[in-house]
Amino acid sequence: MKIAMITTFYPPYHFGGDAVFIRRLTHALARRGHDVHVIHDVDAFRLLAPDREIAETEEPAGVTVHRLESATRAQGFLSCLATQQLGRPVVHGDRIRHILEDGEFDVIHFHNISLVGGPGVLALGNAIKLYMAHEHWLVCPSHVLWRHGRELCTGKECLRCQFHHRRPPQLWRSTSKLEREAEHVDVFYSPSRFSANKHREFGFGRELEVMPYFLPDADSGAEEPEALTDAPSDRPFFLFVGRLEKIKGLQDVIPQFSGDGESELWVVGAGDYEDELRAQAKGFPRVRFLGARSSEQLRSLYAKALAVVVPSVCYETFGIILLEAFREGTPVLARRLGPFPEIVEHAQGGILFETEAELRDGLDTLANDAALREQLGRQGKLTLERTWTETVVLEEYFGMIRRVAEEKNPALARALADVTGSPVAIDGQENA
């Protein structure tokens, strides 16, 4: 099967978990012998992070990456602005069209398309078309339903909100362009039931199916834990992992680690809100900022933590951090908001909090009850293996494609009849 992934961001030109998951899905499909092409927009990354140094990464056999990049930064800015305003790939549209038409793809899978082409890119190519809503961009110009940069969105005030987010209003959102272009897509889906419901609540006209994120299988060549050689202390610690932005809610957790106490808070990540968070934690020796860490070191940190704290104050669409904690047998302490309740309650792998008192009680309970930590961690890991692993979720993925193919492409449906989520051998070896 030949698959095109279309996304604004793709590692190493990316900022968050959605791009990491797209790469994870791409590699998982390649391991199973599928030919995967990724189309992504370097201009968008350079616009948002003009000075960031990039460490290039290699892609495995079976993966081809097409980078959309203008000759100059100024041209790249104009390309992104035109797409953002008009809702179509003005500058790179011809190249995307040629890749899709010449490639004769079986499946075109759209992800975050905000700056790679907007809704207009959905019409390009002729194949089975899937759209995964990693964010709430379909119903929110700022992607995150975080109104005026200070509160959960409970009703649209999009024009004022875009100014608060320092983004120019999008002209195409005042038309029916999204509704028209969405007709080209066979299946829209979200990683959580919560997010699917939010799309409906905010007026998106298509029903979203649900298919979750996953972690690689243990035998897939995924990163192995790497010992941390510069641990800041030998005391027990709670762990926060994520972008250091206000919407991630770390500012609500830091005050719980003032004064004396046995446990510490270790913070992994970087972001625009980091200076404010460090200032808040000044004089709190139990709060440690570790900066960005490799995925291998993260595995060791997850495994040694008392629990992973997930305090986001915005509407996430999933929560890959929870799965990464469960993989190491570590419980989570997550805010009772967005998709976190459905994940934690399904896994029975952690504690939920809503108020400051519940947060404090959760930290105390997990710090002092080793038996409970072990029970929650064990249950989370067991549920992960049954629900959120590569093989399990790819079975659902191929099933979705087969279902659409039975109507649009019977030959592909027949070819996929025996496809499973397990890796296949290519030339006598697994495609890794």
Residue % of the chain over a pLDDT of 90: 79
Rounded CA separation 2/108 (Å):
9
pLDDT tier, 421 (very low <50, low <70, confident <90, very high otherwise) = low
DSSP assigned state of 389: B
Residue 275: how many other CB atoms lie within 10 Å: 10
What's residue 160's pLDDT? 84
Please provide residue 341's backbone torsions phi and psi, each rounded to the nearest 5 degrees: -60, -40
Nearest to 264 by CA among 222, 316, 309: 309
Does residue 424 have a pLDDT over 70? no
d(CA 319, CA 379): 17
User: Quick check: 430 pLDDT over 60?
Assistant: no
pLDDT tens column, 103-135: 999 999 999 999 999 999 999 999 999 999 999
- The tens digit of pLDDT for each residue in 31-61 reads 999 999 999 999 999 999 888 888 888 999 9
Mean pLDDT score across all residues of the chain = 92
The confidence band for 221, taking pLDDT boundaries of 50, 70 and 90, is low
429 pLDDT tier (thresholds 50, 70, 90): very low
CA dist 34 and 52 (Å) reads: 33
* Residue 297 CB coordination number (10 Å): 19
- CA dihedral of residues 333, 338, 340, 345 (deg, nearest 10): 110
- Average pLDDT of the residues in 280-301: 94
The pair phi, psi for residue 414, each rounded to 5°, is -65, -40
- Per-residue confidence (pLDDT) for residue 431, from 0 to 100: 35
For residue 195, the model assigns a pLDDT of 98
From 79-88, 226-235, 417-426, the region with the lowest mean pLDDT:
417-426
Domains of the chain as residue ranges with CATH: 2-214+390-430 (3.40.50.2000), 237-386 (3.40.50.2000)
Cα gap 273→126, rounded to integer Å: 43
Residue of 221 and 53 predicted with greater confidence: 53
Taken in order 309, 312, 315, 319, the sign of the CA dihedral is negative
Looking at 53-57, 375-379, 386-390, which range is the least confident one? 53-57
Give residue 414's pLDDT.
Answer: 82
The tally of CA atoms less than 13 A away on the side-chain side of residue 216 is 23
- Beta bridge mates, 109: 5, 130
Pairing of strands 35-41, 128-132: unpaired
409 or 191, greater pLDDT: 191
Query: CB of 182 within 8 A of CB of 123?
Result: no
Amino acid letter at 319? G
Distances (CA, A) of 122 to 6, 69, 223, 277: 10, 20, 34, 40
Place of tokens 């933590």: 305
Collapsing DSSP states into helix, strand and coil, what is residue 163? helix
Tabulate helix, strand, coil % of the chain (nearest 5). Answer: 40, 15, 40
pLDDT at 420: 61
- CA distance linking residue 381 with residue 384, whole number of Å: 5
What mean pLDDT do residues 337-350 have?
Answer: 97
Distances (CA, A) of 57 to 39, 83, 111, 271: 16, 27, 21, 22
The 10s digit of each residue's pLDDT in 59-77 is 999 999 999 999 999 999 9
Q: What is the DSSP string of 287-302?
A: EEEEE---HHHHHHHH
Please tell me whether the overall predicted TM-score, pTM, comes out greater than 0.85 for this model: yes
